A and B are shown apart, each in its own frame.
Chain A
Amino acid sequence: AQTVTQSQPEMSVQEAETVTLSCTYDTSESDYYLFWYKQPPSRQMILVIRQEAYKQQNATENRFSVNFQKAAKSFSLKISDSQLGDAAMYFCAYRRDQGGSEKLVFGKGMKLTVNP
């Protein structure tokens, strides 16, 4: 079974600085998708960024980028120029590339604090 590991339960960063959130996963599949979701306090979970495993280029979305290392099964999220609104729980998630299977496997999450 696939597993997703977020080894750091909490991190903090100063406003305007850069922080990297780590995620590793275990799978025997060659094709899959990886996601980072953000859950702000008392607000809905939203997608931050996603990556297809067959793509070598790392995904970027404005201040958010990933470092996808397929051989190492690592998928870290880098947040540049951190803002107070980035404070949230962050979840890494994995999904197989198999027709009809849209189930996500989530990591345990990591709480990010942004200090002014």
Chain B
Amino acid sequence: DVKVTQSSRYLVKRTGEKVFLECVQDMDHENMFWYRQDPGLGLRLIYFSYDVKMKEKGDIPEGYSVSREKKERFSLILESASTNQTSMYLCASSFPRYLDTQYFGPGTRLTVL
């Protein structure tokens, strides 16, 4: 079974802190994604990566950056956390084939105080 894991299920941080969210997949997937999920807004793509050291902005990249130094790991970085970044963050991965599904991690619920 494909496994996508995220470093924390719940995280509480203070405004201005630098926050790292880690995602690891064990299926040798080329593609990895970071989404933000908010009630009434669905899932919105923050960043995605289609190869090591490669990244592309999604729909809402402002305030975020990413790092992919190894194929299995994709990190989301909040350089200076703000209260409006309180949200559920979902990581996903997939092969780069046209019909391949994205496999999701359990999510990290981040609260910024």
Contact = CB atoms under 8 A, between A and B. Distances in A.
B31 A102 contact: yes
B41 A103 contact: no
Contacts, number: 48
A84 to B, nearest CB: 21
Contacts of A6: 42
B21 to A, nearest CB: 16
Contacts of B50: 100, 102
A47 interface: yes
Contacts of A100: 50, 96
A26 interface: no
A44 B42 contact: no
A50 B42 contact: no
Interface string B11-44: 0000000000000000000010100000011111
Contacts of B48: 102-103
Given A52-B99, A102-B94, A108 B42 contact: yes
Interface string B86-98: 0000101010101
A109 B42 contact: yes
Contacts of B104: 44-46
Interface of A is mostly: loop
Contact of B101 (A35, A106, A107): A35
B102 A104 contact: yes
B40 A106 contact: no
B45 interface: yes
B106 interface: yes
Given A35-B101, A103-B45, A45 B31 contact: no
Interface string A10-28: 0000000000000000000
A52 B107 CA distance: 28
B42 A107 contact: yes
A97 B100 CA distance: 12
B40 to A, nearest CB: 6
Interface of A: 6, 9, 33, 35, 43-47, 50, 52, 91, 97, 100, 102-104, 106-109
